[in-house]
Copies of this chain bind each other. A is one copy, B any other.
Amino acid sequence: MDGKRSFSRRGFVGGVATALGYLTLDPASRAWAQSATARAPRPKLSTDEYDTLAKLANNENPYGPSEAVMKAMTQSFKYANRYGYPDGGITKAIAEHHGVKEENVLIGSGSGEILDVACNTYLRNGRKILSSEPSYDVIFEHVTAYKAGTIRVPSLPDFRQDIPGLVAAARAYSRDIGFIYLCSPNNPTGRIVTKQEIAQLLDGIPRDMPVLIDEAYFHFVEDPDYETSIPHVFEGRPVMVTRTFSKIAALAGMRLGYAIAPKEMISDMRPYATGTINAIVKWGGVAALTDTETQAKVKRLTVDLRKRTTAELQSLGYAVIPSEANFFMVNLRRPVPPVIEEFKKKGVLVGRPFPPLMEHLRVSVGTADEMSRFLTAFKEIVPGARTAKAG
């Protein structure tokens, strides 16, 4: 890490005034404005138009639910008209999958609902989220509803999250922070926080400070220094881990996710969860948990395609942030918003801008055909790309 950053970190521990030059402090008003933008209705496409697009904008699993999952979902249509139906034991299945008790599990309509519930539970009295910048932006939308703000620690020059910086901020603002949000692999960068860094974070912060570790992209990681933080849930501290069926299980549209947390945290959060999860996806989720063969296949296909695509971008002269997820960021060395529009004109949907990385384009890993369409479009759109290849 460079001296200036290190100096800054030491600086803000000494005083809020110094910190303001280093951290991003979002007042509710700014967060609200971001929310208004982010929540704008998505463009409405006909089903035919949508089908023709290369969909690389939302970190989806392009292969869809596995045969076993589809079978479980189709069969559970018999409960479409019911409330207290057998739900396949989804909470129990999740608990057993992780070797925890049912009292440690809270299910939601995607892990997005869980993040919302965490905000509603822990951001009372104007408390703030402490997080990295950039990170998963949708959680910062939720903040606005609670008239809370965010304290955001810039990532390091290599785009990894600044763990000592987060620890220092947690100590400096301990009474203002509702919880720490840590996404690993991080969206939008794809970079992980290692197991050693997670321990470093937890050892460094006040012991009673809630920490939400978002493992939405857990299943795509290859790095041996990464592991789940679920064991930390059982160390007598307020640590929760969120997971989703949206990514590896390809159930984004069906909405199912969950938190693993100490019993007390689950109890605190449960009243804020709507608790009304679609019947079909509960059965789909149970089937997905045991379908490890399909998951391994999706991981292999995705990681291979990510590596091939990023290697080609690098050969074209464009730096790529090393990713451990089903997406990556490429540095275009020019503002991304007009480039995103150019891709759209060519039928390729790519990721939204993630401030402050306004020259990095986030690209999800789709099918082989979609990645080929992306690369073709890239060479047409991004100046110098074709030349760099030729050179």
Q: Which residues of A contact B (CB under 8 A)?
A: 35, 39, 42, 44-47, 50, 55, 57-58, 60-65, 70, 73-74, 77-86, 89, 108-110, 112-113, 116, 120, 141-142, 144-145, 246, 250-255, 270-272, 274-281, 284
A278 engages B281 (CB within 8 Å)? yes
Which of A60, A73, A86, A110 has the most chain B CB atoms closer than 10 A to its own CB? A86
Could you say which residues of chain B place their CB within 8 Å of the CB of A86?
44-47, 50
Q: A86-B44, A250-B80, A252-B82 are in contact. Are A276 and B50 (CB under 8 A)?
A: no
B65 engages A80 (CB within 8 Å)? yes
Nearest Cβ on chain B to A56's Cβ, whole angstroms:
12
With the chains together, A79 CA to B254 CA distance in Å? Answer: 8
Pick from B44, B85, B274, B275: contact of A50, CB under 8 Å:
B85
Could you say which residues of chain B place their CB within 8 Å of the CB of A63?
81
Which of A77, A84, A275 has the most chain B CB atoms closer than 10 A to its own CB? A84
With the chains together, A45 CA to B57 CA distance in Å? Answer: 41
B110 engages A82 (CB within 8 Å)? no
With the chains together, A120 CA to B117 CA distance in Å? Answer: 12
Q: A35-B271, A109-B278, A116-B274 are in contact. Are A253 and B81 (CB under 8 A)?
A: yes
B271 engages A255 (CB within 8 Å)? no
Could you say which residues of chain B place their CB within 8 Å of the CB of A145?
271-272
A251 engages B81 (CB within 8 Å)? yes
With the chains together, A254 CA to B284 CA distance in Å? Answer: 13
Nearest Cβ on chain B to A46's Cβ, whole angstroms:
6
A253 engages B271 (CB within 8 Å)? no
Instruction: Enumerate 17 A-B pairs (CB-CB under 8 Å) in ascending A order.
Output: A55-B82, A60-B82, A64-B78, A64-B80, A64-B81, A79-B253, A80-B251, A81-B250, A82-B253, A83-B252, A110-B274, A112-B274, A113-B274, A141-B271, A253-B280, A255-B278, A274-B274
